[in-house]
Structure 1
Amino acid sequence: MGMVPNGLLPNASAGVTRRLDPERWAVVEGRTAELIARIQPNEHSEGRRLAVYHYVQRLIMNCLSCQVFTFGSVPLKTYLPDGDIDVTAFGNSEELKEIWANLVRDALEREEKSENAEFHVKEVQYIQAEVKIIKCIVENIVVDISFNQVGGLCTLCFLEEIDNLISRNHLFKRSIILIKAWCFYESRILGAHHGLISTYALEMLVLYIFHVFNNSFTGPLENFSATLIGRNFV
């Protein structure tokens, strides 16, 4: 399409650009749009995740004096059908920072054992990594619960601003969904918990490609192709 990249290493641009047949490419982009429509968030998945989030939010706020928010791909609306829900609790108490994990884990384990629980909870785990996380499965959706993760909310706001800036019917978000789907379902390289590439790293790579090609893409597939080729020059 005559794209002129910037920000690449010297002599690298020739290896990532070539002219494409506009008509044939438009057909392929149309097929890609159909694929994205099948895997992107829809009314059913949105309602299901919102119900699970509100359920977890109530559980946490019943045992902690705090506020609870979701961040990551769910509020950004770039999650895959198998995507998890990231939840973080905020509190000012220093004591709360030390005891929150045990209190939340105990509350979830009670729900797991209860026959009258509103939702089916299972596989409650306390992961004591650099960022402590309570991981569980609620109605077959993985939920990760953390504490005071301001960075997660800042990243969400930043990516929303980028999507608004690029605009074009949420081209940035649609590009993320397509590339995430390929990385997760086809190449199996997505998943920070397994030592693979993180979603945030992937989002930054997509953003970098938008910058390199001056936001000149006709659709998500063109961005996807440039990302696969351009990552060799990052």
Structure 2
Amino acid sequence: MGDFREWAAYGSSAVARGYRAPTLAAAMAQSLSHPVAIRRDSLRAAERRAADIVARVRPTDDSESKRKSVVAYVQKLIGVSLGSEVFPFGSVPLKTYLPDGDIDLTAFGSAAPDSTLISDVRCILEYEEQNSDAEFEVKDVQYINAEVRLVKCLIDNIIVDISFNQMGGLCTLCFLELVDRHIGKDHLFKRSIILIKAWCYYESRILGAHHGLISTYALETLVLYIFNLFHKTMDGPLAVLYRFLEYFSNFDWDNYCISLYGPVAIASLPDIVIEDTDIRSADLLLSQEFVKRSIKKFSLPLTESEKSSAKFCPKYLNIIDPLRENNNLGRSVSKG
């Protein structure tokens, strides 16, 4: 397994001898062991076991029906009372949620400073909480005054987060759906997300932005990065998990951000200077043209407040949003 410290030591000695040290991106790409080095019969058996795990934690017909009913219930409540439209986004419509995954909704209405949309939604759900004839049991309604303001509650024992006027979440959903179709292989991208989310949530306990951990979209972006560089060697979710763990366990997070096309030195910010990965453009999964078209389709114009802070702000974990390069998807992570 390649180790960053070995690469750094090589770089220092190479400079002393007058040679040009390899970039971090190139060293990382070259140091990874190839999954096919494992015996093929062992790899196939391991992929079958991984498929069993995915089958146990992936959405089922029952979980899909239950979540669709809860979404329809909230849409009816808010639509009838306020005339606002409500849309699901995130893991539920993408079909990559885990068994106890929550439902992300966004309600659209007035964004004026004096708008009562948030308080009205909260009041509607608090009324349902006391309504013995409600279609579903509603519990624990609360307002979360965070960077993205939410009304959170439990509906039929599923956590429901309702945000407001969050077009960005819908754009991200469309982008990830497009990527999954582009990759194909019986939804390999989505199956890999499910397996890696399960490892991150149940095994390593690193998933959950509201607990100061990594957000789901940040994790999905890291998975997409692995696909972009190594898609030719990956035919199953376990191979993707292998590449994911091998690559990012050795990544120099203290000094680099990760972007869709390679590492970016934190010292270069606010300029986004992507290091060369030594992988030919033609061998990448996503062409520059594909990403440009996606940005044009799914990016939103910056608001006035966003324009005033339009530079990428480094935190403890730094992941550049493929659709908006000034957006740090790792900003939810607090220092461990």
> Which TM-score band (shorter chain)?
over 0.9
Counterpart check, 1:209 vs 2:226: yes
* 2:148 counterpart of 1:101: no
Deviations 1:119-162 (Å, cap 9, x if unpaired)?
00000010111211000000110000011110000000000000
* Code of the aligned partner of 2:84: C
Quick one: distance in 1 between partners of 2:168 and 2:29? Answer: 34
Q: C-alpha separation between the residues in 2 aligned to 1:139 and 1:215?
A: 43
Aligned-residue sequence identity (percent) comes to: 56
> Following the alignment from structure 2 to structure 1, what is the Cα–Cα distance between the partners of residues 243 and 141?
40
Indicate which of 15, 27, 41 corresponds to 1:11.
27
Aligned to 2:55: 37
Paired residues of 1:97 and 1:147 also in contact (CA < 8 A): no
Q: Are 2:200 and 1:180 equivalent residues in the alignment? A: no
Q: Which runs of 5+ in 2 are unaligned?
A: 1-22, 252-257, 259-336
Structure 1 pair 55–230 and aligned structure 2 pair: CA distance change class (3 A)? same
Deviation for aligned residue 1:21: 1.3
Q: Summarize the alignment of residues 141-156 of structure 1 with structure 2, pairs less than 5 Å apart.
A: 141-156=158-173
In the alignment, the residues of structure 1 paired with residue 199 and residue 120 of structure 2 have an alpha-carbon distance, to the nearest angstrom, of 38
Structure with bigger helix share is 1
Q: Which of structure 1's runs of 4+ aligned residues deviate more than 4 A?
A: 94-97
User: In terms of Rg, which structure is larger?
Assistant: 2
How many residues align? The count is 227
Opposite residue 30 of structure 1, the aligned amino acid is R
SS of 1:185's partner is helix
1:127 paired with 2:144, answer yes
Show CA shifts across 1:154-202 (max 9, x none): 0000000000000000000000000000111111110000000000010
| Higher relative contact order, structure no. (Cα contacts within 8 Å, ≥ 6 residues apart) | 1
> Aligned-pair distance for 1:98?
2.1
d(CA) in 2 for partners of 1:95, 1:80: 36
TM-superposed deviation, 1:89: 1.1
CA distance in 1, matches of 2:62, 2:239: 29
Could you state the TM-score of these two structures normalised by the residue count of structure 2? 0.65
**Matched residues in 2 for 1:118 and 1:200: separation?**
32
TM-score (normalised: structure 1): 0.93
| Closer, same or farther: CA 108–135 of 1 in aligned 2, 3 Å | same
Q: 1:63 to 1:185 in 2, by over 3 A?
A: same
Query: Contact 2:185–2:235 (CA<8 Å) still a contact in 1?
Result: no
C-alpha spacing 1:229/1:26, structure 2 compared with 1 (3 Å): same
CA distance in 2 between partners of 1:85 and 1:109 (Å): 18
Q: CA RMSD in A?
A: 1.6
Structure 1 position 30, deviation (Å): 0.7
Contact map agreement 1:84 1:144 (CA 8 A) in 2? yes
In structure 2, the partner of 1:85 is 103
Tell me which amino acid in the other structure corresponds to 1:52.
V
